[in-house]
Structure 1
Amino acid sequence: MSNIIDMMVHVNRAQEEAASLSKPLPKGGGGGTFGGMEARIAKLEASVESIQGTLSEVRGSVRSQLDVITEIRVVLARIDERAIRTHEKIAELPSKSFLFWSGVGLLVSIIAAVVGIITLAQ
C-alpha cells in the first residue's frame, strides 16, 4: 500500500511541475517570480544541443553528398570525352553510298578484266 501512495505523491508532484512549466511567465511590472525559468532554460539548452548535434550530422551528410556529386561529374566528363571521340571516329568512316559505289566499281573492274582475258584468249 505504501508503494501506491508513494507513486501517487510522485505523480502529483510531476503533474504540478508540468503545470508550472506550461504557465506563461508573469508580465512586467516588478514583483514577479522566475516561475520555473530554470527548468525552461534547461529544456531550451537541451533542445539547442540536440539541434546542434543534428545539424552537425546534416553537415557531414551534405559534405559526403558533395563528394559523391564531384565524383559523378568527373565520370560524366570522361564519358562525354569518350562519346566525342567515338563520334569523331564514326564521322571518319566511309558512307554507305561510298561503299556501294566502290563495290560496283570493283565488280565492273573484275567483269572488264574477265572480258579482256576472254577476248585475248580467242
Structure 2
Amino acid sequence: MAEPGSNIRYLQARRPGGGLKPPGGDGTYGDMEARVARLEAHMEHVRSGLDKLGGLPVQAAKLEERVAHLPTKGWMVGAMATGLAIIAALIAFGEKIQALVN
C-alpha cells in the first residue's frame, strides 16, 4: 500500500524544475496536489470497502448450495398438473363417488 502523498512526491520529482506548476489554471497541473490528495483518500475508502468483500465467495457458495435444494420449475409444473387433474377428476366423477358412498 502506497503511503499518503507518495504520488505527489513522484509527480514533483518528475517535473522539470522540481515541482508542480502553481495553481491557477494555466496548465494541466492546476491544483494537482489537492486533487491527488483527494484521490488518495478516496482510494483508501475504496480499499477498505473491498476488504469487507473478502467473505463474498463463501457467502456465494452457501447461497448456491441452498438454491440447489429448491424445487425445479419442472417439478412445480408437474405438481400443479397433478393437483389440477385430481380436482378435475373429483368434479367429473363427483356424482358417481357420492352414489358409491351412499
TM > 0.5 fold call? no
- Give the TM-score of the pair, scaled to structure 2: 0.44
Instruction: Give 1 or 2: higher helix fraction.
Output: 1
